[in-house]
């Protein structure tokens, strides 16, 4: 799995979900942001295959993504690492280098690179 960068709205318009890319809105009940419950299934699938990228803060409609952002990005990032270090996840493959905050048009995204468990390199 290769890392890629998202810097602009044009970059978002080129995204398509695949076996190595999953995008989630991650707004939470209060609209400020939360880790979607089904994100951990994706994490596990990526960890057990060739790896992949999860992007939180994008909404999908008819195969196209739009920027929603995550208001409380610090809390979402903390929740991500707390859960990754808990018993919910058998192996934490995440580091500070594999989780990046990206700001586009004043809205924050969380880009999570999940590398295959046996091939973890950054």
- Count helices and strands in the chain by DSSP H and E runs: 3, 6
- Cα dist from 54 to 21, 70, whole Å: 6, 14
Q: How many CB atoms lie within 10 A of CB 28?
A: 17
Buried-state track 59-80, b at ≥16 Cβ within 10 A, e below 16: eeeeeebebbbbbbbeebbeeb
Q: What is the CA radius of gyration of the chain?
A: 13
Comparison of pLDDT for 86 and 15, the residue scoring more:
86
Domains of the chain, by residue range, sit at 9-114
CATH of domain 9-114: 3.30.950.30
Summarised one tens digit per residue, pLDDT across range 81-97 is 999 988 887 888 888 98
pLDDT 10s digits, 53-86: 999 999 888 878 889 999 999 999 999 999 998 8
Q: What is the DSSP letter of 97?
A: G
108 neighbors 101 (Cβ within 8 angstroms) = yes
């Amino acid at each position: 799995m290769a890392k890629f960068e998202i810097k602009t709205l044009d970059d978002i318009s080129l995204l398509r979900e695949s076996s190595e890319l999953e995008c989630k809105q991650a707004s939470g009940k209060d609209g400020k942001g939360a880790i979607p419950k089904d994100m951990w299934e994706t994490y596990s699938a990526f960890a057990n295959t060739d790896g992949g990228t999860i992007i939180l803060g994008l909404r999908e409609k008819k195969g196209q993504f739009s920027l929603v952002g995550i208001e409380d990005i610090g809390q979402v990032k903390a929740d991500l690492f707390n859960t990754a270090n808990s018993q919910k996840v058998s192996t934490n493959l995440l580091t500070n280098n594999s989780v990046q905050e990206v700001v586009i048009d004043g809205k924050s995204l969380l880009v999570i690179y999940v590398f295959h468990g046996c091939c973890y390199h950054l």
